């Protein structure tokens, strides 16, 4: 296992290894290829195949050791954190410095095959699925997508002892029934519905127990474990059934200012720690029962919860909570993220948590109004704030826009009037919330702004990231 001194060196020197022109939030395939060419300009990189969209998928080999490790990242295109970390790791292995003993140990004892960015089409579009809508991690049996065939071919030809399946976890998971966020989540995938154990899976559990201990030692954030639900269509479960020791690592979330860049660093450290423990078999010193001591993940989080709202229906008043999620999308033309909100649940959410919570006891909900805008120029933030103050949430008019789904303005754009219905599951969150004291909030595309904010905010984009365009 890694010594304390080596860990400290890795932490202190990480900024040297980190590829600064790659961001953990989004990686364009063209940028990825440029960095990869810089890092592996030798015969250790091979073309593994071509994606549905015609993009190249590479595999990189490192080391000449007996134990074989297969790693793949970004089979889900909107999960780029581990791809960034793998580029940092390749940069680390290329350099000569004070940690050469670890590099020598890895290269002499291990042969590592890396397939970074298995889904480059999805990576470019920032979608989970590939270009024809297939979730590659549900294609291990039918092998309909070329990306799935590439991964399966490498497994069959390389015959790895260990397989690292690297993902990003969505922001709605917490650690068991709490509001604590996991920085990293693990799974030793089961290979049958009975969650049976074989030697390969026991090794996975032991290694995860060691990695969990390392994170606790570093005080590097909280960890969680996925429930042992068998999914025969997934590659991790399939490879585990073939005898490989599979380790699923999911990059979680942190409330710290570094965000995903901190989780990227943890991926870098975890992989090196795993390589070290596999190289000398030190992970075998751990009892697999410690794997089960890692608390389970629970999906108990929302982006926004409006608590204790009053809703009237058929002359009755009901007190409800409304849970809202904001789906993150990527505009490939503008190279920016935008969000589409939806109401996910209405009722008692007292056992759920949110990134933003508002106690709205005594507040009732009413629809936003439509405003006919006849000026050809884009309205200013001051003008929009005035509209919002007066209960308008939709502008009807031919405003300049090159977006089909969203607008960067902090107010929705509608091409025609449409009666806004009551809050309903799956519908966007656009409402006015007010009480008898004339206090109020405006909800635009699931983003909330108070009446006080509207009086003093010069730039509403701090509160309302984007609004939507309606036909």
d(CA 69, CA 245): 9
Beta carbons of 226 and 296 less than 8 angstroms apart:
yes
Strand, helix or coil for residue 327: strand
Higher pLDDT, 453 or 107: 107
Hey, which residues are catalytic here? 250
Alpha-helical (H) ranges within 242-359 are 260-280
pLDDT at 399 over 70: no
Other beta carbons within 10 angstroms of residue 309's beta carbon come to: 22
pLDDT at 401 over 80: no
**Topology given in CATH for the domain delimited by 4-299:** Aminopeptidase (3.40.630)
HEC secondary structure over 76-115 = CCCCCHHHHHHHHHHHHHHCCCCCHHHHHHHHHHEEEEEE
Band of residue 171 on the pLDDT scale cut at 50, 70, 90? very high
Beta bridge partners of 310: 319, 364
d(CA 416, CA 113): 55
pLDDT of res. 177: 86
d(CA 48, CA 301): 38
- For the chain, which residues make up each domain, given as ranges? 4-299, 301-470
Note the CATH architecture for domain 301-470. Roll (2.30)
pLDDT tens-place string over residues 1-59? 788 888 888 988 999 999 999 999 999 999 999 999 999 877 789 999 999 999 999 99
pLDDT at 220 over 90: no
d(CA 361, CA 306): 9
Strand, helix or coil for residue 389: helix
Nearest to 22 by CA among 7, 10, 38: 38
The residue to which tokens 């983003």 are assigned: 447
pLDDT tens-place string over residues 244-255? 999 999 999 887
Nearest to 386 by CA among 454, 464, 447, 457: 454
Beta carbons of 83 and 117 less than 8 angstroms apart:
yes
Beta carbons of 29 and 55 less than 8 angstroms apart:
yes
Q: What is the mean pLDDT of residues 288-311?
A: 95
Query: Measured between alpha carbons, how far is residue 15 from residues 18, 88, 91, 267 in Å?
Result: 5, 9, 11, 14
Beta bridge partners of 110: 67
Strand, helix or coil for residue 8: helix
pLDDT of res. 402: 56
Average pLDDT over the chain, rounded to whole? 93
pLDDT of res. 314: 87
């Amino acid at each position: 296992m890694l010594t304390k001194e080596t860990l400290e060196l890795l932490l202190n020197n990480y900024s040297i290894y980190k590829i600064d022109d790659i961001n953990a939030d989004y990686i364009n395939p063209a940028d990825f290829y440029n960095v990869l060419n810089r890092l592996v300009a030798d015969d250790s990189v091979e073309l593994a195949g071509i994606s549905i969209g015609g993009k190249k998928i590479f595999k990189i080999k490192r080391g000449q050791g007996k134990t074989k490790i297969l790693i793949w990242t970004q089979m889900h295109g909107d999960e780029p954190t581990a791809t960034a970390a793998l580029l940092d790791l390749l940069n680390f292995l290329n350099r000569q410095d004070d940690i050469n003993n670890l590099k020598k140990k890895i290269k002499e004892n291990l042969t590592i095959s890396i397939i970074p960015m298995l889904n480059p089409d999805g990576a470019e579009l920032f979608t989970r699925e590939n270009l024809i809508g297939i979730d590659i991690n549900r294609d291990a049996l039918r092998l309909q997508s070329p990306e799935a065939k590439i991964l399966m071919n490498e497994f069959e030809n390389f015959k790895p002892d260990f397989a690292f399946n690297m993902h990003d976890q969505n922001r709605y998971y917490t650690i068991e029934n709490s509001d604590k966020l996991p920085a990293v989540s693990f799974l030793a995938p089961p290979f049958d519905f009975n969650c049976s154990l074989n030697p390969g899976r026991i090794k996975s559990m032991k290694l995860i127990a060691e990695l969990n201990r390392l994170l606790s030692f570093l005080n590097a954030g909280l960890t969680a474990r996925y429930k042992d639900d068998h999914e025969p269509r997934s590659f991790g479960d399939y490879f585990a059934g073939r005898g490989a020791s599979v380790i699923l690592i999911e990059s979680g979330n942190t409330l710290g200012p570094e965000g995903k860049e901190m989780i990227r660093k943890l991926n870098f450290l975890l992989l090196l720690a795993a390589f070290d423990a596999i190289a000398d078999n030190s992970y075998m010193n751990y009892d697999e029962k410690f794997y089960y001591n890692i608390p389970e993940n629970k999906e108990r989080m929302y982006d926004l919860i409006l608590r204790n709202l009053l809703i009237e229906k058929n002359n009755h008043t009901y007190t409800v909570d409304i849970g809202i999620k904001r789906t993150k999308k990527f505009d490939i033309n503008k190279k920016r993220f935008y969000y589409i909100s939806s109401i996910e649940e209405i009722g008692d959410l007292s056992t759920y948590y949110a990134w933003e919570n508002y106690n709205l006891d005594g507040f009732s909900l009413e629809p936003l109004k439509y405003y006919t805008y006849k000026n050809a120029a884009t309205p200013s933030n001051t003008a929009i704030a005035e509209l919002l103050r007066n209960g308008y949430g939709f502008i009807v008019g031919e405003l300049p826009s090159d977006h089909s789904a969203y607008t960067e303005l902090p107010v929705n754009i509608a091409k025609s009037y449409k009666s806004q219905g009551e809050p309903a599951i799956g519908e966007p969150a656009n409402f006015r919330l007010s009480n008898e004291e004339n206090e109020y909030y405006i909800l635009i595309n699931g983003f909330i702004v108070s009446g006080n904010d509207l009086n003093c905010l010069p730039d509403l984009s701090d509160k309302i990231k984007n609004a939507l365009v309606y036909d």
